[in-house]
Amino acid sequence: MPTVSEIMQTMEYGPSVEDSSAVRHWLKANPKFGHFINGSFTKPGEGFDTSDPATGTVLARISQGTAEDVDAAVKAARRAQPKWAGLPGHERAKYLYAIARTIQKRERFLSVLESMDNGKPIRESRDADIPLVVRHFYHHAGWAELMADEFPGHSAIGVAGQIIPWNFPLLMLAWKIAPAIAAGNTVVLKPAEYTSLTALAFAEICQEVGLPKGVVNIVTGDGETGAAIVASDVDKIAFTGSTEVGRAIRAATAGTGKRLTLELGGKSPFIVMEDADLDAAVEGVVDSIWFNQGQVCCAGSRILVAEAVAERFEALLQRRLATLRVGPPLDKSTDVGAIVDPVQKDRILNLTALAVSAGADLIGGAPRETCFIAPGYLRQVSPANPAWSEEIFGPIATLTTFRTADEAISLANNSRYGLAAQIWSESATVATDLAASVKAGVVWINGANMFDAAAPFGGMRESGYGREGGRVGMLDYLNGPKLPEAKEKASPTPKAVLDGASAGGGIDRTEKLYIGGAQKRPDGGASYRAASGDLVPLGNRKDIRNAVEAAKKATKWAAMGGHARAQVLYFIAENLSQRRDDLAKKHGAKPVDAAIERLFYYAAWADKYDGLNVQTKPNYLVNVIPEAFGTIGIVCPNDAPLLGFISLVAPAIAMGNTVVVIPAQDDPVAAFDLAQVFDTSDLPGGVVNIVSGPKDELAQVLAQHDDVAALWFCGVEGAAAVEKASTGNLKPVWSFANRDWSKPVGQGRSYLDHAVQWKTVWLPYGALPAGTGSIVY
Partner 1 sequence: MATASLRNPGTDLRPEWFEQIRINTPAVERRAATLPVRRSLKKEWQAGWILNAILCIDLTTLAGDDTEDRVARLCAKAMQPIAPDQLAAMGVDSLTTGAVCVYPTMVGAAKRALGNSGVPVASVATGFPAGLMPLDLRLAEIRYAVDQGADEIDIVITRAHVLQGNWTALYDEMRAMREACGPARMKAILATGDLKSLENVAKASHVAMQAGSDYIKTSTGKEGVNATLPVSLVMCRAIRDYQDQTGFKVGFKPAGGLKTSKDAIAWQVLMKEELGDDWTRPDLFRIGASSLLGDLERQISHYVTGRYAASHRLTMA
* Residue 8 binds to partner 1 (criterion: CB under 8 A): yes
Q: Say whether 150 sits in a helix, a strand or coil.
A: helix
* Residue 283 binds to partner 1 (criterion: CB under 8 A): yes
Stretch that binds partner 1, among 6-14, 382-390, 505-513, 607-615 (CB under 8 A): 6-14
- Chosen residue from 370, 619, 729, 750 binding partner 1 by CB under 8 A: 619
Nearest distance in Å: CB 424, partner 1: 8
- Toward partner 1, which CB reaches closer, 16 or 357? 16
Nearest C-alpha neighbor of 492 from the set 697, 353, 309, 678:
697
List binders of partner 1 among 435-454 (CB under 8 A).
446-447
* Residue 600 binds to partner 1 (criterion: CB under 8 A): no
Stretch that binds partner 1, among 273-281, 608-616, 664-672, 745-753 (CB under 8 A): 273-281
8 A C-beta contact, residue 121 and residue 335: yes
Binding mask 395-434 for partner 1 (x = CB under 8 A): -------------------------------x--------
Residue 556, CA distances (Å) to 454, 648, 695, 707 in order? 32, 21, 29, 17
Nearest distance in Å: CB 122, partner 1: 10
Per-residue exposure over 5-23, b if at least 16 CB sit within 10 Å of its own CB, e if not: eeeeeeeeeeeeebebeeb
Nearest distance in Å: CB 422, partner 1: 12
* Residue 108 binds to partner 1 (criterion: CB under 8 A): no
Nearest distance in Å: CB 685, partner 1: 43
Instruction: Identify the bridge partners of residue 527 per DSSP, sorted by sequence position.
Output: 497, 537
* Residue 684 binds to partner 1 (criterion: CB under 8 A): no
- Chosen residue from 5, 369, 505, 507 binding partner 1 by CB under 8 A: 5
- Chosen residue from 49, 68, 127, 610 binding partner 1 by CB under 8 A: 127
- Toward partner 1, which CB reaches closer, 6 or 508? 6
Nearest distance in Å: CB 281, partner 1: 8
* Residue 768 binds to partner 1 (criterion: CB under 8 A): yes
- Toward partner 1, which CB reaches closer, 289 or 513? 289
- Chosen residue from 59, 141, 160, 276 binding partner 1 by CB under 8 A: 276
Q: Are strands 756-764 and 620-628 parallel, antiparallel or unpaired?
A: antiparallel
* Residue 775 binds to partner 1 (criterion: CB under 8 A): no
- Toward partner 1, which CB reaches closer, 501 or 770? 770
Nearest C-alpha neighbor of 613 from the set 437, 475, 454, 766:
454
List binders of partner 1 among 575-594 (CB under 8 A).
none
| Distance (Å, whole) CA 481 – CA 155 | 8
Helices 278-288 + 307-323 axis angle, to 10: 50
DSSP state of 294: G
The catalytic site residues sit at: 263
Nearest distance in Å: CB 618, partner 1: 11
* Residue 111 binds to partner 1 (criterion: CB under 8 A): no
| Distance (Å, whole) CA 288 – CA 268 | 10
Within 394-519, residue ranges assigned H as helices are 405-412, 428-437, 470-475
Nearest distance in Å: CB 71, partner 1: 46
- Toward partner 1, which CB reaches closer, 307 or 682? 307
* Residue 769 binds to partner 1 (criterion: CB under 8 A): yes
Q: Say if residue 546 is exposed, middle or buried (CB neighbours under 10 Å; 0-12, 13-18, 19+).
A: buried
Residues ≥6 apart with Cβ < 8 Å to 358: 384, 385, 386, 387
| Distance (Å, whole) CA 53 – CA 48 | 15
Stretch that binds partner 1, among 73-81, 252-260, 270-278, 483-491 (CB under 8 A): 270-278
Using only C-alpha atoms, what is the Rg of the chain? 28
Nearest C-alpha neighbor of 698 from the set 642, 657, 689:
689
Instruction: Identify the bridge partners of residue 627 per DSSP, sorted by sequence position.
Output: 757
- Toward partner 1, which CB reaches closer, 4 or 559? 4
The half-sphere exposure of 180 on its side-chain side, counting CA atoms within 13 A, is 31
8 A C-beta contact, residue 550 and residue 690: no
Angle at 197 between CA 192 and CA 200, to 5 degrees: 100
* Residue 107 binds to partner 1 (criterion: CB under 8 A): no
* Residue 767 binds to partner 1 (criterion: CB under 8 A): yes
Stretch that binds partner 1, among 163-171, 368-376, 521-529, 765-773 (CB under 8 A): 765-773
* Residue 323 binds to partner 1 (criterion: CB under 8 A): yes
- Toward partner 1, which CB reaches closer, 115 or 726? 115
- Toward partner 1, which CB reaches closer, 58 or 776? 776
* Residue 123 binds to partner 1 (criterion: CB under 8 A): yes
Nearest distance in Å: CB 282, partner 1: 9
Nearest distance in Å: CB 16, partner 1: 4
* Residue 21 binds to partner 1 (criterion: CB under 8 A): no
| Distance (Å, whole) CA 677 – CA 592 | 12
Within 275-415, residue ranges assigned H as helices are 278-288, 307-323, 342-357, 386-389, 405-412
* Residue 307 binds to partner 1 (criterion: CB under 8 A): no
DSSP state of 555: T
Q: How many whole angstroms from its chain centre is CA 753? A: 14
* Residue 31 binds to partner 1 (criterion: CB under 8 A): no
Stretch that binds partner 1, among 161-169, 279-287, 626-634, 650-658 (CB under 8 A): 279-287
- Toward partner 1, which CB reaches closer, 448 or 703? 448
Q: How many whole angstroms from its chain centre is CA 666? A: 36
| Distance (Å, whole) CA 581 – CA 474 | 46
- Chosen residue from 498, 505, 772, 775 binding partner 1 by CB under 8 A: 772
Question: What does the DSSP assignment read for 40-62?
Answer: EEPPP-SEEEEE-TTT--EEEEE
* Residue 533 binds to partner 1 (criterion: CB under 8 A): no
Nearest distance in Å: CB 433, partner 1: 18
Please count the residues of this chain forming the interface with partner 1, following the rule CB under 8 A.
44
Nearest C-alpha neighbor of 387 from the set 527, 396, 395, 119:
396
| Distance (Å, whole) CA 267 – CA 242 | 12
Nearest distance in Å: CB 320, partner 1: 9
The half-sphere exposure of 426 on its side-chain side, counting CA atoms within 13 A, is 9
Nearest distance in Å: CB 23, partner 1: 19
CB atoms within 10 A of CB 608: 11
| Distance (Å, whole) CA 496 – CA 139 | 59
Nearest C-alpha neighbor of 760 from the set 449, 530, 328:
449
Stretch that binds partner 1, among 274-282, 506-514, 555-563, 700-708 (CB under 8 A): 274-282
* Residue 766 binds to partner 1 (criterion: CB under 8 A): yes
DSSP state of 17: B
- Chosen residue from 67, 280, 356, 363 binding partner 1 by CB under 8 A: 280
* Residue 496 binds to partner 1 (criterion: CB under 8 A): no
Stretch that binds partner 1, among 9-17, 220-228, 233-241, 396-404 (CB under 8 A): 9-17
List binders of partner 1 among 329-388 (CB under 8 A).
331-333, 335
Within 607-694, residue ranges assigned H as helices are 643-654, 669-679
Stretch that binds partner 1, among 109-117, 517-525, 710-718, 759-767 (CB under 8 A): 759-767
8 A C-beta contact, residue 411 and residue 402: yes
8 A C-beta contact, residue 559 and residue 684: no
Nearest distance in Å: CB 112, partner 1: 15
Residues that bind partner 1 (CB under 8 A): 1-8, 11-16, 123, 127, 275-280, 283-284, 287, 315, 323, 331-333, 335, 426, 446-447, 619, 764-772
